[in-house]
Amino acid sequence: MATYQLNVNGQKREVNVDPSTPLLWVLREDLKMTGTRFGCGISACGACTVHLGGVATRSCIVPISHVADRPIITIEGIAQDAVGQAVQSAWVERDVVQCGYCQSGQIMAAVALLKATPRPTDQNIEESMGGNLCRCGTYPRIREAIKTASAQLKGGA
């Protein structure tokens, strides 16, 4: 066990866990932030996506000992910024979700995409969202919602 100081959604948090524990499980079980989901544990599905140091990251394969002082943003904190808000509201407006289990990760990936590429093409979307699995198959509406959010952000800017 070791103690780690984390910066989660702008707040300082301290946890005492085994250094091998993936960030995902620290968020879910130690910090009780269950919005970040467990889907595969091998970074194949993207359900656990968070922003680590501003980069969309699969939290299921990042040991807590590798996080250091990089800020962590999770689905619970994504509405703190304009892009996060726009994506969440586009998701609701387009009625994207079905079972909803993958959508935290989808939204985190979409926010990262729009921050890097405010006007994404279909190809940009396929590349950036390409590793986020949705078994319900909500992909067509995910695509629409990203475009909706992009338009909203442009309109508001």
Partner 1 sequence: MVAAIKQSEVSRRGFLRVSFAAASGLLVSLYLEPHRSQEIVAQEGNPTPPPQQPKVFPPDAFVNIRPDGKIVIQVNRLEFGQGVHTGLPLVLADEMDADWANVVGELAPAADVYKDPLFGIQMVGGSGSIAHSFQQYRELGAKTRAMLVAAAADRWQTTPDKCRTETSVVHGPNGQSATYAELASDAARKPVPATVRLKNPTEFRLIGKDVKRLDSPAKCNGSLKFGLDLDLPGMKVAVVAHPPVFGARVKSIDDAEARAIEGVLNVFEIPLVKGSGVAVVADKFWPAKQARGRLKIEWDTSGIEANDTTELWTRYRQLGQTSGAVAATRGDEKAIEKLAAKDRIVAEYEFPFLAHSPMEPLNTTVRFNGDGAEVWAGSQFQTVDQMAVAEVLGLKPEQVTFHTEMAGGGFGRRAVADSHVQREAATIAKRLRGTPVKLVWTREDDVQGGYYRPMHFHRVEIGVGPDGMPVAWRHVIVGQSITAGTVFESFTTKNGVDSTAVEGVADTDYNVPNFHVSVHHPKINVPVLWWRSVGHTHTAFVMETLVDELATRARMDPIAYRRKLLKPDAKKTLRSLDLLEKETASWRDKLPRGHALGVSCHESFGTGVACAVDVSIENKRPKIHRATIAVDCGLAVNPLSVASQFQAGLSFGLIQLMAKGAITLKDGRVEQRNFDGYVPAYIIDAPVAVDVHIVPSTEAPSGCGEPPVPVISPAVVNALARLTGKRYRSLPLVSL
- Provide the edge-to-edge strand list for the sheet that holds 11-17: 11-17, 2-8, 72-73, 49-52, 55-58
Lookup: tokens for 149:
């959010």
Which stretch, 15-23, 65-73, 112-120, 148-156, contacts partner 1 (CB under 8 A)?
15-23
Which one among 107, 113, 149, 153 touches partner 1, defined by CB under 8 A? 107
Which one among 6, 8, 15, 25 touches partner 1, defined by CB under 8 A? 25
105 phi, psi to nearest 5 deg: -65, -40
Which stretch, 51-59, 65-73, 137-145, 148-156, contacts partner 1 (CB under 8 A)?
137-145
If one asks whether residue 81 binds partner 1 (CB under 8 A), the answer comes out as no
DSSP state letter for 51: E
Say how many residues touch partner 1, by CB under 8 A. 61
Which one among 8, 56, 97, 113 touches partner 1, defined by CB under 8 A? 97
If one asks whether residue 19 binds partner 1 (CB under 8 A), the answer comes out as no
The alpha carbon torsion through 82, 93, 58, 134 (nearest 10 deg) reads -170
Tell me if 132 sits within 8 A of 148, measured CB to CB: no
Contacts of 34 (CB under 8 A, 6+ apart): 27, 28
Smallest distance, partner 1 to C-beta of residue 146, A? 10
Tell me if 22 sits within 8 A of 59, measured CB to CB: yes
Residues that bind partner 1 (CB under 8 A): 1, 17-18, 20-22, 25, 28-30, 32-42, 44-45, 47, 74-76, 78-79, 88, 91-92, 95-104, 107, 122, 125-126, 129-143
